[in-house]
């Protein structure tokens, strides 16, 4: 046995984390053994605390400490627009630009038949439910510009347009500061497709 | 506030881990929120359990569940040779090759004046202590082939040779399977220096 049992167990648990291979799990475990007890306890308790305190907002499905999240409760935000994203972290990315002032809706995944993720597993039912209670007019589909994100966008458009909603998709194109020379052809193609009159 | 407080706290704790930047701390935190409660608790408890159960072997300073580690307790191992390493993980690397059958000693660091790490902070006193009780004859210094590892080796040689111990250093040279063409000159220089008659 190379590792003492509690160490082997810790390494095994760390290895389950995304992006953490056997080598970095070992590195993290040894680090945790080296730091003062109170520091390791703080990490452990912050995990337990986050799991205990956080839930999904009943409205937008974002991570929240209350039944309804801060963004949904904010009366200054535009109640007629909802931006649909795949993951809670996507909201953080959009909020960071400090420009969008509407609502959100988190699907918690994207349609991906190869990974066995179908529309029923996403929070689409909850999105439809919102139209009955909220004065929504436009749905901005801000899922990733990937096959999964695009299929999800297409699915939502087919579902929501008949209900009389305006469904828009965030633009795919050249990243600001990027060079045409280095862009992949799918991005370039999208940039031309999404072109706008000047 | 972009993140709910318990989430922000969890991200902050994760960011303290080595090699975990703000982005991967977020990724890990969201992952932990997504997994079942019992899985997150297992990680938290394995951290606490490892901190509680593990200590340093009184003899070799390796991580151990008992006062004396499995290797030190193993009577079939050669008690006359001790291999000095910087970190407990180095023992794992050497044990993996399944060839070395002597003792170990973990310094818990390497001499590095720029990082304010001097001999007094390393477990060198504990190493000297062992000579009084153990039938040691040879000390193999297996610290990393870096400036810190080499200075530590030099320091130990100066300290231990006068006591009548044979002090050896692991070879620095070409990694097996490497190509001369790609080797850095320090490695090549060492490979020539450490050359052996065939």
CATH (domain of A154): 3.40.1360.10
CATH (domain of B48): 1.10.8.420
Confirm whether A62 is domain-assigned: no
Q: Is the pLDDT of residue A4 over 80?
A: yes
Average pLDDT of the residues in A170-194: 80
Residue B116 and residue B179 in one domain: yes
| β-bridge mates for residue B169, sequence order | B141
Across the A/B interface, how many CB contacts are shorter than 8 Å? 155
Confirm whether A164 is domain-assigned: yes
Average pLDDT of the residues in A174-185: 79
Confirm whether B14 is domain-assigned: yes
All residues of chain B having their beta carbon less than 8 Å from the beta carbon of residue A54 are: 4, 6-7, 33
Q: Which of B80, B83, B137 is nearest to B107 (CA)?
A: B83
Confirm whether A64 is domain-assigned: no
Burial (CB < 10 A; 0-12, 13-18, 19+), residue B77, is: middle
For testing contact with chain A, the best of B1, B2, B6 (most A CBs within 10 A): B6
Residue A24 and residue A83 in one domain: no
Determine the pLDDT at residue A179. Answer: 79
ipTM: 0.77
Residue A17 and residue A113 in one domain: no
Determine the pLDDT at residue B1. Answer: 58
B156 touches chain A (CB under 8 A): no
Determine the pLDDT at residue B178. Answer: 77
The answer to whether the Cβ–Cβ distance between B50 and A33 falls below 8 Å is yes
All residues of chain A having their beta carbon less than 8 Å from the beta carbon of residue B32 are: 17, 47, 50-51
CB nearest to B10's CB, from A19, A46, A70:
A46
- pLDDT range class, residue A56, cuts 50, 70, 90: very high
Q: Per the structure, how many domains does chain B have?
A: 2
Confirm whether B66 is domain-assigned: no
pLDDT averaged over every residue in chain B: 91
All residues of chain A having their beta carbon less than 8 Å from the beta carbon of residue B14 are: 43
B95 touches chain A (CB under 8 A): yes
Residue B120 and residue B41 in one domain: no
Residue B45 and residue B80 in one domain: no
Determine the pLDDT at residue A49. Answer: 96
For residues A83 and A100, is the Cβ–Cβ distance under 8 A? yes
Residue B45 and residue B102 in one domain: no
B16 touches chain A (CB under 8 A): yes
Average pLDDT of the residues in A170-183: 81
The answer to whether the Cβ–Cβ distance between B49 and A24 falls below 8 Å is no
Q: What is the DSSP string of chain B?
A: --S-HHHHHHHHHHHTSTT--HHHHHHHHHHHHHS-HHHHHHHHHHHHHHHHH-EE-TTT--EESSSS-HHHH-TTS-TTEEEEESSHHHHHHHHHTT---SEEEE-SS--BGGGTB-GGGTTHHHHHHHHHHS---EEEE---SSHHHHHHHHHHHHHHGGGT-EEEE----PPTT--GGGS-HHHHHHHHHT----
Looking at per-residue confidence, does A172 or A115 come out higher?
A115
- Backbone dihedral angles phi then psi of residue A173, each to the nearest 5 degrees: -175, -160
Confirm whether A70 is domain-assigned: no
Q: Which of B143, B161, B163 is nearest to B151 (CA)?
A: B143
Residue A31 and residue A84 in one domain: no
For residues B49 and A14, is the Cβ–Cβ distance under 8 A? no
Confirm whether A67 is domain-assigned: no
Residue A49 and residue A101 in one domain: no
pLDDT digits (tens, 9 = 90+) for B67-120: 999 999 999 999 999 999 999 989 988 888 888 999 999 999 999 999 999 999
pLDDT digits (tens, 9 = 90+) for B124-177: 999 999 988 899 999 999 998 889 999 999 999 999 999 889 999 888 888 877
CB nearest to B6's CB, from A5, A28, A54:
A54
The answer to whether the Cβ–Cβ distance between A33 and B51 falls below 8 Å is yes
Residue B15 and residue B82 in one domain: no
Q: Is the pLDDT of residue A183 over 90?
A: no
Residue A87 and residue A14 in one domain: no
Q: Is the pLDDT of residue A1 over 70?
A: no
pLDDT digits (tens, 9 = 90+) for A96-133: 888 899 999 999 999 999 999 999 999 999 999 998 88
Residue A86 and residue A48 in one domain: no
Confirm whether B82 is domain-assigned: yes
For residues A144 and A110, is the Cβ–Cβ distance under 8 A? yes
Q: Which range marks the domain in which residue B32 is found?
A: 5-53
Q: Give just the sign of the alpha carbon dihedral A11, A17, A20, A24.
A: negative
As a whole number of angstroms, the distance between CA B176 and CA A78 comes to: 64
- pLDDT range class, residue A33, cuts 50, 70, 90: very high
- pLDDT range class, residue A177, cuts 50, 70, 90: confident
Residue A41 and residue A135 in one domain: no
A4-40 burial, b if ≥16 CB within 10 A, otherwise e? Answer: bebbebbbbbbbebeebeeebbbbbbbbbbeeeeeeb
Q: Is the pLDDT of residue B180 over 80?
A: no
The answer to whether the Cβ–Cβ distance between B39 and A30 falls below 8 Å is no
């Amino acid at each position: 046995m190379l590792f003492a049992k509690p160490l082997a167990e810790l390494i095994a648990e760390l290895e389950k984390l995304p992006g953490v291979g056997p080598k970095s799990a070992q590195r993290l475990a040894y680090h945790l053994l080296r730091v003062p007890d109170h520091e390791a306890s703080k990490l452990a308790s912050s995990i337990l605390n986050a799991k205990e305190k956080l839930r999904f907002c009943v409205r937008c499905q974002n991570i929240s400490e209350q039944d309804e999240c801060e963004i949904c409760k904010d009366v200054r935000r535009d109640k007629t627009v909802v931006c649909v994203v795949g993951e809670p972290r996507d909201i953080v990315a959009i909020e960071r630009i400090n420009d969008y002032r509407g609502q959100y809706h988190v699907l918690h995944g994207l349609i991906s038949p190869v990974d066995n993720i179908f529309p029923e597993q996403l929070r689409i039912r909850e999105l439809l439910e919102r139209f009955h209670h909220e004065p929504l007019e436009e749905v901005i589909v801000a899922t990733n510009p990937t096959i999964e994100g695009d299929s999800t966008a297409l699915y939502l458009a087919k579902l929501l347009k008949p209900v009389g909603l305006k469904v828009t998709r965030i633009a795919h194109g050249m990243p600001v500061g990027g060079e045409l020379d280095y862009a992949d052809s799918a991005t370039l193609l999208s940039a031309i497709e999404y072109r706008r009159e000047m």
